Every structure is written in structure tokens, then in C-alpha cells.
């Protein structure tokens, strides 16, 4: 899902410099665009990388390495995607309204993404037992039969 979303976002961003109003952007808005574009492209690369990794390691008995590396690639991709989303919101609100509105909208979206993509998962993870711990726990004693 994230791959498709970031690819659509990147495609949208790629078209912006070819719009007539792009030349009206301030230097700060252009810098915001470039950082946002770079984040979106890098996010695309990191989110698609696990697919390539899987293909290259398929049938090589490297499941653990594939999952481990893929996990970190996806996390980095999601961070870059968050940066791109915040950048797009900042840019659009700044152009449509003004710079202060853009900053407020970017902060709000950044906070929402932080809550949904980091705080919530960490909270849920904290309530779950670690599967590695369960492997080392002795089974509960059996009640005597009879």
C-alpha cells in the first residue's frame, strides 16, 4: 500500500515543475519542493528495495536476512514518505493560502503521522509479549490426571 501511495505522490511531484505557476514559487517554496521531491524518490527506492532483495535471495535459505534487512528498508522508506507528505502539505498550503498556514498544516500532519506511524505501533508493541521470550518459557505444569 505504501509503495503505491509513494509512487502516486512522486508522479504528482514530477509534474509540478512543468506547470505555468511553478515559476511563481518563492525560493523557500522551491527548496521545499526539492526536499519533498527527493524524499519521495528516496522513499520509493527504499520501499521497493525489499522486493529486489527478496528476488535476489529467493531460494538461498536467507529468509531471516531478507526479513531483517527488508524491515529496516521499509522503516527508512516510511520515514522518507512522512517527510514527503509533510513537505507536500507545507508546499500546497503555502501556495494556496500563505506560509503561516502551510507551517501550521505541516505541523498538524507531521503530528498525526508521528502518532499513527510511531506512537501507536510502539504502544501496541509494548502490550504484546515478545515471541522470543515465549520460546524460552517452560510450559505450564500439567494438572494431575485421575
pLDDT one-digit tens code per residue, 112-138: 999 999 999 999 999 997 766 655 555
Q: Choose between 30 and 135: higher pLDDT.
A: 30
The dihedral through the CA atoms of 130, 132, 136, 141 has a sign that is positive
Element (H, E) at 140: none
Q: Any idea which residue has 501556495 for its cell?
A: 95
85-108 CB burial, b ≥16 within 10 A, e <16? bbbbbbbebbbeeeeeebeebbee
Q: Where are the domains of the chain?
A: 2-14+25-128
pLDDT of residue 36: 94
Q: For 75-88, how does the pLDDT look when each residue is reduced to its tens digit (9 = 90+)?
A: 999 999 999 999 99
Tell me the C-alpha to C-alpha distance, in Å, between residue 32 and each of 38, 42, 89, 104, 114: 10, 15, 10, 15, 20
**Of 31, 54, 39, 43, nearest to 4 (Cα)?**
43
The dihedral through the CA atoms of 54, 58, 62, 64 has a sign that is positive
**Of 36, 41, 35, nearest to 7 (Cα)?**
41
Amino acid at each position: 500500500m505504501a509503495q503505491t501511495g509513494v509512487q502516486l505522490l512522486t508522479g504528482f511531484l514530477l509534474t509540478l515543475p512543468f506547470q505555468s505557476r511553478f515559476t511563481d514559487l518563492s525560493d523557500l517554496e522551491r527548496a521545499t519542493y526539492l526536499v519533498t521531491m527527493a524524499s519521495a524518490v528516496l522513499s520509493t527506492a527504499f520501499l521497493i528495495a525489499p522486493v529486489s532483495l527478496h528476488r535476489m535471495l529467493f531460494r538461498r535459505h536467507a529468509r531471516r536476512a531478507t526479513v531483517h534487512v527488508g524491515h529496516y528498508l521499509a522503516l527508512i522508506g516510511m520515514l522518507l514518505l512522512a517527510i514527503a507528505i509533510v513537505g507536500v502539505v507545507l508546499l500546497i498550503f503555502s501556495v494556496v493560502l500563505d506560509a503561516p498556514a502551510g507551517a501550521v498544516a505541516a505541523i498538524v500532519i507531521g503530528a498525526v503521522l508521528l502518532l499513527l506511524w510511531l506512537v501507536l505501533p510502539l504502544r501496541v508493541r509494548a502490550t504484546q509479549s515478545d515471541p522470543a521470550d515465549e520460546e524460552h518459557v517452560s510450559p505450564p505444569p500439567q494438572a494431575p490426571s485421575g
